[in-house]
Structure 1
Amino acid sequence: MKQHQFQPSLPPPPNTVGIVGWMRKNLFSSPLNGITTVLLAYFAFQLIWSVLDWGVFNASWIGTTRDDCTSTGACWVFISVRWEQFMYGFYPTEELWRPRLFYGTLAILVALMAYEKTPKRSWIFIFFGSAYPILMAGLLEGSMFGLPSVDTHQWGGLLVTLILAIIGIVLSLPIGVVLALGRRSKMPIISKLSVFYIEVWRGVPLITVLFMASVMLPLFFSGGVQTDKLVRALIGVTMFYSAYMAEVVRGGLQAIPKGQYEAADSLGLGYWQKMRLVVLPQALKITIPSIVNNFLSLFKDTSLVLIIGMYDVLGIGQSANTDPNWLGYSTESYVFVGLVFWVFCFGISRYSIYLENKLNTGHKR
C-alpha cells in the first residue's frame, strides 16, 4: 500500500507579510482608511517639507551679524552668535573652562551610570549623589579651589537649567520616599506631619513657592545671614516636587500585596530591612512611569525661575529677543530652546522605557 506523502507548507502570500502586509492591515484595510491615509500623508509631507525648507535647506548658518541672514529661511546665525549665553549665561569668558568641565564630567558620569556593565557602578551612583555636587559647586563658584569667585547671578542658560534639574531630581526622590513612608506610618505624629507637609506643598503653585523662596525665606534666617538666590530656588523646587514624589511612591506602596509585608515579617526582618529589601524595590519598580513623569515636569518647570530674576536657557532666549540688533528672530530662539528641552526630556523618557522593560521580569510567563 502506497504511503501518503504530505507536501511541504507553502509560504504566506507576499502581500500579507512584511511592510506590505502591515500597510494593508493598518493603513489600507478599507477604502475609507486608504483615502484617509493618503490625505494625512499628503498634509504631513507638506508640513514636514515646509519645516525642513525653512529650518534646513533655505536657512542661513554662517555669519556674525544679521546682515549675513540673506535667505528667506531661518537665521541660525542668531543662535551661533548667542551660543555662549545659551550655554553659560553671563559667565566670565576667561573662566568658561569651568562650566565646560562640568558639562564634560556630567556627560561621562551619566554615561557610566546608564551602562549596566560599568565596574563599581554603585560607587559611581554614591559619588554622583554626594561628593560630585559639592565639588562642582566649588568649581563653578570658585570658593573651594582658590579660583576667582563667580557669583551665581552671572550663571545662566543651560547651566542653570541643568543644576536646578539635577539637584531637584537627586533630592526630591529620597525626600519623597521618606515622606511616603511617614504618611503610612503607624505613629500619629509622624503621619500627621507628613500629611500636612504633602498637602500644603501640593496645594500651592510652583510660582508662589519660588516667590516665597526668593522673598520670604531670607526672613527666617538670623540677621546678617545671606542666602544665594540659586540656593533658594533649589530649596523651593526640591520641597515642592518632593511632595508630589511622595504621593507617587505612596501609590506604589499601596499597590504591593499584603502578602509581601507578611512574608517579610515571617522572615524576622525589621521595619527598615523590610522596606529596603522587599517593599521599596517593588514599589519603585511599578512607579517608574510616574516618577519619570515628575522628573520631566521638574526639568521643564525650571524655566519658571525667570520670574525671580534667574536666566535659564528660556530666560536667555527671551532676553536675546529684545536685543535691538536681532529683533525679528524670536522664532529661531524659541525653536532652539524647545529643541533643547525636547532632547533632554526624550532621552530621559527613552531610558525610563528601557528600565521598565528590563525590570518587568516579574510579569513574564
Structure 2
Amino acid sequence: MFGLAPVATAYWGGLPVTLLLAVSALGIGFPLGVVLALGRRAAMPVPRLLSTGLIEIIRGLPLVSLLFMSSIMLPLMLPNGMALDKLARACVALTIFSAAYIAEVVRGGLQAIPPGQGDAARALGLNWLQTTRLIIVPQALRSVIPPLTNTIIVMVKNMALVLVVGLFDLLSAGKAALADPEWPSPFAETYLFIAAIYFVFCFAISKYSLYLESHFGAATRR
C-alpha cells in the first residue's frame, strides 16, 4: 500500500501488537464465550458436556502453557502446506482463553435471569432462538457488566505474556530498547511510560463500563 513493502508479522512489535492481540482475542472470544455459556446451560447433554469440558480444561491451564501449546503443537495439527505465523498462533490461544473466562461470567448472568422470562416469551409465541437473542442474553449481559469489565482488563494486561512465544508487545519492546547498549537506559522513564499507557487503556475501559451501567440502569428504571 502506498508503494511500501509489506512487513512480516515476525517484525511487528510494541503497542500495535498489544492492541491487535487484545482487540482480536476479545472481539472473537466474546461471542464464542456467549455460545459456550449457552451450551453449558443447554438441556441437551452433548453441547452441555462439550462446553463444560472445554471451559474447565481451558480455565484449569495457565495462559503461558496455552501459548506454548499454540506455538509448538498447533503447527503439528494443521494439514500439510498450511501454516500460521506466531502472531496468529498467539491470537488463537488468547481467544480460547478469553472465551472460557467470558463464558463463566456470562453463565452467572444467565443463572440470574428468572425462569418466568423464558415462560413469558414462549407464551408470546417466540421460539428458543428469539427468546435467547432478544430477551435472555441482553438481560444476562446487562447484569454482568462489572465482572465482564474486570475480565477484559485482565486480558489486556495478560497480553504481556506473549513474550514467551517470541512476540514483542509493548512491555517486551520496552525491555528490548533498554537492552540496547547505545541507549543510556532510562529504566524509570521507560517503565513509567509503559505503565501510563496501560493505565489509560484500562481506566478508559473501566469508565466506559460505568457509563454502560448507568445507561442500562436508567433504561431499566424507565
User: Does TM, normalized by the shorter one, top 0.5?
Assistant: yes
Higher relative contact order (CA 8 A, sep 6+): 2
Q: Which residue of 2 aligns with 1:292?
A: 149
Taking the TM superposition and a 5 Å limit, the aligned residue runs for 1:121-136 are none
Q: CA deviation at 1:328?
A: 4.2
Taking the TM superposition and a 5 Å limit, the aligned residue runs for 1:188-203 are 188-203=45-60
Q: Which residue of 2 aligns with 1:347?
A: 204
Q: Which amino acid aligns with 2:18?
A: T
Q: Which amino acid aligns with 2:171?
A: L
1:177 is matched with which residue: 15, 30, 34? 34
Q: Which residue of 2 aligns with 1:326?
A: 183
Q: Which residue of 2 aligns with 1:260?
A: 117
Q: CA deviation at 1:227?
A: 1.0
Q: Distance in 2 between matches of 1:146 and 1:277?
A: 47
Q: CA deviation at 1:149?
A: 2.2
Taking the TM superposition and a 5 Å limit, the aligned residue runs for 1:150-161 are 150-161=7-18
1:324 is paired with a residue whose SS is coil
Q: Distance in 1 between matches of 2:104 and 2:57?
A: 13
Q: CA deviation at 1:361?
A: 2.9
1:325 is paired with a residue whose SS is coil
**Is structure 2 residue 216 aligned with structure 1 residue 216?**
no
Q: Distance in 1 between matches of 2:163 and 2:38?
A: 34
Q: Which residue of 2 aligns with 1:119?
A: none
Q: Which residue of 2 aligns with 1:249?
A: 106
Structure whose CA Rg is larger: 1
Q: Distance in 1 between matches of 2:153 and 2:22?
A: 9
Gaps of 5+ in 2: none
Residues 107-135 of structure 1: per-residue CA shift (max 9 Å, x gap):
xxxxxxxxxxxxxxxxxxxxxxxxxxxxx
2:65 is paired with a residue whose SS is helix
Sequence identity (%): 49
Q: CA deviation at 1:166?
A: 0.5
**Is structure 2 residue 214 aligned with structure 1 residue 357?**
yes
2:23 is paired with a residue whose SS is helix
Gaps of 5+ in 1: 1-141
Q: Distance in 1 between matches of 2:189 and 2:47?
A: 51
2:182 is paired with a residue whose SS is helix
Q: Which residue of 1 aligns with 2:160?
A: 303
Q: CA deviation at 1:293?
A: 1.1
Q: Distance in 2 between matches of 1:203 and 1:319?
A: 32
Q: CA deviation at 1:168?
A: 1.0
Q: Distance in 2 between matches of 1:218 and 1:155?
A: 20
TM normalised by structure 2 equals 0.96
Pairwise CA RMSD = 1.6
Q: CA deviation at 1:360?
A: 0.5
Q: Which amino acid aligns with 1:358?
A: H
Q: Distance in 2 between matches of 1:232 and 1:359?
A: 37
Q: Distance in 2 between matches of 1:325 and 1:197?
A: 48
Q: CA deviation at 1:251?
A: 0.4
Instruction: Name the CA shift for 1:229/1:146 in 2 (closer, same or farther; >3 Å).
Output: farther
Taking the TM superposition and a 5 Å limit, the aligned residue runs for 1:1-365 are 148-361=5-218, 364=221
1:310 is paired with a residue whose SS is coil
Q: Which residue of 2 aligns with 1:19?
A: none
Q: Distance in 1 between matches of 2:98 and 2:3?
A: 35
- Following TM superposition, where does structure 1 have runs of at least 4 consecutive aligned residues deviating by more than 4 angstroms? none
Q: Distance in 1 between matches of 2:219 and 2:152?
A: 25
